[in-house]
Structure 1
C-alpha cells in the first residue's frame, strides 16, 4: 500500500472540531471527500507533516494550534463598507456571512460583525482564525 509522501494525491474525509468538541466543518456533511496534492499549498505545512506516512484506511486525530491551522485574525482583513452598497440584497444583519468579489474576481466570504449608522463592518478573516482545532482525518486513497 502506498504511503503519503510529497506530491501524493490524497483523498480523505475530515471533520474539524473545536476544543469544546463542537464540529465546525466536515466533508461528511458535504457528501464527498476532499482531495489535494501534498505540497500544493492548499493545507498548512504543519498539517501535511501529520499526514506524511499515512496509508489508505488509516485514521488520525491531529491537534493544531491556531497558527498552524487557519492562522491568527489579521486586522487588515476587517473592512468598513457603506451600507448603501447592500441595498436590494439580503437583510444586512450581524452574523450574516456574505460572498464578496475579491480583487482577483474570486468570491471571498465575509462575516458582518458590526453595523453603525451607514457603516457596515465586514470581517474577511477565516471564521476559525485564532482557534485551536482538531482534525479527525480518514485517508481514503493515496496516489
Structure 2
C-alpha cells in the first residue's frame, strides 16, 4: 500500500527524524528522572516541559551527554553517572572557615543552612553551614551532589540536527 501524495512529506519527515541520532551540536529533548544511589528522587523533568539542550555545549553534566550519544528519538536508557562525570568528587579544600563576625548578629545560624553570595568576579557562590563554632563557621562550598553517583532514566523525545547558535 502506498501513502497518498499529501501524506508522503510528513512520512518522510518522521522517518528522517527517527534516523537522527544524538551527536555533538544536536538539539536534544529528553524526559528524565534522576535518583541517588539509594533510589531517592533528586530531580525529574516535567512531562509538559522536557529538558532541552545542545549536546556538546556543556549545558548538562558530561556523563549525561556521553550516555545519550548515538541514541535515536524514542530510545530509553538507564545508566549511572559517577561523581567525576557529574558534580565532581567532594573536596575537603572547599570546606572553609568563615568569621562569625561576617554574619549579622541577629541571624540564627543552623547547621545545614544554605547561603549564596556574589564572589569577587561576580559569580554566585553557594555554601552550606557545616559546623557552627563560637567565633567561626565551617562552610562547605562543594556542590550539594558532589561525591554522589547519579542514576538516570532517560527517554529521547527529539533530536534536531546541526543546531548552531539558536538556528537549525
Same fold (TM over 0.5): yes
The residue number in structure 1 matching 2:77 is 60
Counterpart pick for 2:65 among 27, 44, 48: 48
Give unmatched runs, 5+ long, in structure 2: 1-17, 161-168
The structural deviation recorded for 1:64 is: 1.6
Counterpart pick for 1:3 among 7, 14, 21: 21
Q: Which entry has the higher C-alpha Rg, 1 or 2?
A: 2
The residue number in structure 1 matching 2:146 is 129
1:71 counterpart SS class: coil
Q: 8 Å contact 2:95–2:138 — kept in the other structure?
A: yes
Write 1 or 2 for the structure with the bigger share of strand: 1
Correspondence list, 1:14-93, <5 A: 14-28=32-46, 32-87=49-104, 91-93=108-110
The structural deviation recorded for 1:90 is: 5.7
Pairwise CA RMSD = 2.3
When the two structures are superposed, what TM-score results if normalisation uses the length of structure 2? 0.73
Q: 8 Å contact 2:31–2:157 — kept in the other structure?
A: yes
The structural deviation recorded for 1:137 is: 1.6
Structure 1 runs, 4 residues or longer, greater than 6 Å off? none
Give unmatched runs, 5+ long, in structure 1: none
Q: For the residues of structure 1 that align with 2:128 and 2:145, how far apart are their CA atoms?
A: 12
The structural deviation recorded for 1:89 is: 7.8
When the two structures are superposed, what TM-score results if normalisation uses the length of structure 1? 0.84
Q: For the residues of structure 1 that align with 2:133 and 2:59, how far apart are their CA atoms?
A: 36
2:46 counterpart SS class: helix
